[in-house]
Amino acid sequence: MKKQGFDSKKYKQIKRRQARQIKSQTHDPALNKDGILNTAEFLKSRKFEIGELEKAQLNSKFASSTRAFQSLPRTLRRRTASHNVKRIPKRLRKRALREMQSSDTPASSKRGKLRGRELYRARTVSSLLRLATRLQLHKQLPGNTTLGRLRMRQRIKELNKQLKSSRDADSIDFNNTIGSYDISSVNSLASPPRGKVKYTKRQLEFTWLNTHVWHAKRAHMIKRWGWQIPLQPTQKCFRSSHRAFNLDGAVVWDKSFIGTCIIQGDNEASIVELVNQVIVGKKWTKLKSDGLSINTMVESDDDIIGEITIIAFQSPATKRCVIRAHPSIYTEVFNLLVSKRTEDVEIVDCRYALGSIEITGPVALSSLATVLKPVDPSSANAQIFKELCCQTHLPDKTMFTLMVQDPRLANRTKPSQRSNADPLDSLIRMKATRENLDQFTIEALLTSKGRMESYKDQKSLKQVQVELNKPVDERQPGKPIPVMLFNNDGVWTVLVPWFWTLPIWHALVHIAHVKLGGLKQTHQLKFESGKLFFPVDFPFTQVGELENKLNADVKREKWAKKPKGKRVNYDSIKIGNSRGEVGDPFGCDWRYLQVLRIALPHVTNNRSISRTSVWNEQFQRKIEELHDVYNLIEDVKQSKVNKLSKLPIRLSSAVEYPSTIESPLPVTTINVTTLSRGSIGDNARLYSIPTEDLSEWLSTIDSKHTNGRKNHESYPQCPSPQHLVGFITSGTYNLHEGHATGVGCVDSVWTTRSERFLLLRNVGVDVVRLVTWEAVDALKAMRPTRR
């Protein structure tokens, strides 16, 4: 910096002085010799001065923010940006260097430290030397071959022989140098991929995604359902993801952990039969039309397992159904299908053979089109993709199939819309001709042979670089990759052969305005559009119940760690006229709700306590008075009751309560919205309005102070626990709606009373809020609704 003629301290001084100077016009040309004011000139000079004043304000503001990295937006800040200029964007590096020299922070220097290849080489040499001395000491080689006198070359030869024989024992036929191979298995579960040797030990129980290393640097990971899954980006992103979903970009997920299996055979009837045996709701009469994706739920023995997506494909030779299921239920669904299949149908486990990437937002499709370049742009399926790929919104369930180039070698230019083509015409044409579906591509993606073919001579990063250094016409493009894109409620899913996920991912995350998402962002996306998120909002399934319990345990532990004086005492908290939280304060206590709702209709004497507990001949508690119900709940809690349903609730629109607690309580999924004020949290309690309080509650809707402001102070108190009808499974502030909303379940029998309002109370709080509700059809919640 000495070239400039002054040192950085002086530079800083000058900068500060300049920033504080305000230019003004001392010689005013407006007043001429005769003392007459020239209005135009006068206004012009005042305008100039005001402009200067404003500029000076800004100047001195920015001059005082001392360091370059402090003026960067959050997303561009890096951990050691104060020491290392390379962590600062190029446009600010000069300034950063200058500032670094003036301050006391020493710039990190490269000298004296080994880095990269040099470091690697040094390490190898040191470990080899260590090994050599050890070998010399023991005078032997592995495999009990004492070879004290053998020469070095002979030793190496011997070792290579041993290595080769051990490798041949469980060899896989690779057709590339980087170890990609197809891992699928027919009618049985496939074994997880081996992963890099260096990291094998870390993924014994929980398999890594292809993009694991990339994600681990940028996101919090969790170990669940046999996978290591990104939970949420390290950077806070609640608001920015909301904007990216709806307004100004896209959010991308690696969803390879969602399991995929394929039902295939040549007999259409037996495939339809098999599908009909497992799905909930309306059965299929024939195989759905080609490429149509359907969201539905699976059940076995009337118990709902969870939600799945089915995509049907028919070619003259083979009929296929691709089934995608959440990893928590995947093995169950797969085993169910295998157990129910007939001989002419086979089920292929493609959990580790097909990777998937999801992306949503206004730039989602155009980003995909930037990365995925068709090998043959003149083919019909590539043409239709080109005509539609610039659109921000396409109809639900639109599908494209493409054979694409290696994204690392492709010319990744942004797609542009042809001005003469009307996208609507293309859509109508596509519906009629189905030229978006290319049978060859589908076959290549859904068969092991086709996927292996795409891995043939798959290039490593170094090989890609070698290719890129060649002139364009001499490059070896490599084998085409079969890709399938489909739109599921605004979210585009890309299905690719497993080992192509990483190259596509790397290309995708380099596009401007594309943000990373984790599980929490999926939850947020579903929540904002009022939909159910599996498994959290599916408490009527085994997995949902487990999830609820796990979350409750985490909260309980956290609570227990706090000192007594600093935590809410849920047992003695005053709620309405009673004391203590209703049910388990850390989760949704569905068992409490079930016993309560089923036992309440048996109560004949609602008012007084005339007796103590009474049992009948079968040693069952007699339910006649209100206190009997609470005592029964207490019995269940202390597991004194043997005959209980497996799950406390089930999704059903039944209009009558079951007679005993041996059968689950029918519930309906709902969406609630606050009427005026109040937040909604997870596990909030939902009460029906007692008839005697109804008029008072309704009057609070319009109640106003004398100054015209809304009255929020005088609410009636919380009803007694016998009015409990449900819980909120996920509730928070909804950025899409602009106020708090919640998703949860309520007693189905109560919904038949068709009351408009509910009362909502958060856990550990005495305040009750009036909310409206609407039923969410759990099946249709996943089906097309327009944004």
Partner 1 sequence: MADASRKKPRLQGKLVKHAAPSQFKYSNLQTTVRIQHKTPYISAIKRVDTMMKALKGRQPKKSYITVLGMGATIEKTMNIGVHFQAQGCRVEVFTKSVEVLDEFLDQDDSDDESVLRKRSVSCVELRVYKPFDLQ
Shortest CB 592 distance to partner 1, Å: 37
Residues in region 309-368 near partner 1 by CB under 8 A = 362-363, 366
User: Contact, 364 vs 358, CB < 8 A?
Assistant: no
| Whole-number Å distance between alpha carbons of 51 and 634 | 75
Least distance CB 716 / partner 1 (angstroms): 32
To partner 1, the closest distance from the beta carbon of 362 in angstroms equals 4
Per-residue binder mask for partner 1 (CB under 8 A), 510-539, x = binder? ---x--------------------------
Within 8 A by CB and 6+ apart from 547, the residues are: 535, 536
Place of tokens 């020299």: 101
- Window 357 to 386, contacts with partner 1 (CB under 8 A): 362-363, 366
Residue among 84, 102, 270, 391 that touches partner 1 (CB under 8 A)? 391
List the one residue out of 265, 305, 317, 707 whose CA is nearest residue 544: 305
Residue in 247, 317, 472, 560 binding partner 1, rule: CB under 8 A: 247
Separation in Å, CA 288 to CA 150, 156, 557, 764: 70, 61, 48, 49
The answer to the question of residue 292 lying near partner 1 (CB under 8 A) is: yes
Q: How many CB atoms lie within 10 A of CB 235?
A: 13
Which residue do the tokens 């206190």 mark?
Answer: 627
37 binds partner 1 (CB under 8 A): no
Among 54, 344, 346, 422, binds partner 1 (CB under 8 A): 422
What is the C-alpha to C-alpha distance for residues 350 and 334, in angstroms, rounded to an integer? 11
Listed ranges 67-75, 286-294, 559-567, 686-694: which one lies at the site for partner 1 (CB under 8 A): 286-294
For 463, the enclosing helix (H) or strand (E) is helix 461-469
Stretch that binds partner 1, among 210-218, 416-424, 494-502, 699-707 (CB under 8 A): 416-424
Comparison of 429 and 602: residue with beta carbon closer to partner 1: 429
The one among 66, 160, 162, 289 contacting partner 1 by CB under 8 A = 289
Q: Is position 288 an interface residue for partner 1 (rule: CB under 8 A)?
A: yes
Query: Can you say whether the dihedral through the CA atoms of 714, 720, 724, 727 is positive or negative?
Result: positive
Q: Least separation, in Å, of the C-beta of 42 and partner 1?
A: 16
Q: In the complex, what is the shortest distance from the CB of residue 240 to partner 1, in angstroms, rounded to a whole number?
A: 14
In this structure, what token pair is assigned to residue 245? 């979903």
Q: How far is the CB of 283 from partner 1 (least distance, A)?
A: 11
For partner 1, which residue of 111, 167, 282, 704 counts as binding (CB under 8 A)?
A: 282
Given a contact cutoff of 8 angstroms between Cβ atoms, the answer to whether 606 and 723 are in contact is: no
Q: State which residue, 167 or 787, has the beta carbon closest to partner 1.
A: 787
d(CA 287, CA 514): 37
Residue 315 C-beta: closest distance to partner 1, Å: 18
**What is the nearest approach in angstroms of partner 1 to the Cβ of residue 40?**
14
The minimum distance between CB 102 and partner 1, in angstroms, equals 30
Do 336 and 357 contact (CB within 8 A), yes or no?
no
What phi and psi, each to the nearest 5 degrees, are found at residue 278?
-110, -25
Query: Torsions phi, psi of 454, nearest 5?
Result: -70, -25
The reply on whether position 397 binds partner 1 by CB under 8 A is: yes
Give the up-direction half-sphere exposure of residue 666: CA atoms within 13 A in the CB hemisphere.
14
How many binding residues for partner 1 (CB under 8 A)?
29
Q: Which stretch binds partner 1 (CB under 8 A): 389-397, 629-637, 701-709, 765-773?
A: 389-397
Report the half-sphere exposure of 647 (CA within 13 A, side-chain side): 19
Tell me: does residue 175 bind partner 1 (CB under 8 A): no
Beta strand pairing call for 665-674 and 649-651? parallel
143 or 395, CB closer to partner 1? 395
Name the minimum Å distance from CB 422 to partner 1.
7
Torsion sign, CA atoms 722, 725, 728, 733: negative
Which helix (H) or strand (E) segment holds residue 264: the answer is strand 259-265
Q: How far is the CB of 709 from partner 1 (least distance, A)?
A: 19
Cβ distance to partner 1 smaller for residue 149 or 282: 282
Comparison of 506 and 783: residue with beta carbon closer to partner 1: 783
Return all residues near 379 (Cβ < 8 A) that are at least 6 apart.
403, 438
Q: Does 71 bind partner 1 (CB under 8 A)?
A: no
Q: Which of 66, 105, 234, 392 binds partner 1 (CB under 8 A)?
A: 392
Peptide bond into 535 cis (omega under 30): yes
Task: Catalog residues that contact partner 1 under the rule CB under 8 A.
Answer: 247-248, 282, 288-289, 292, 294, 362-363, 366, 390-393, 395, 397, 417, 422-425, 427-428, 431, 513, 783-784, 786-787
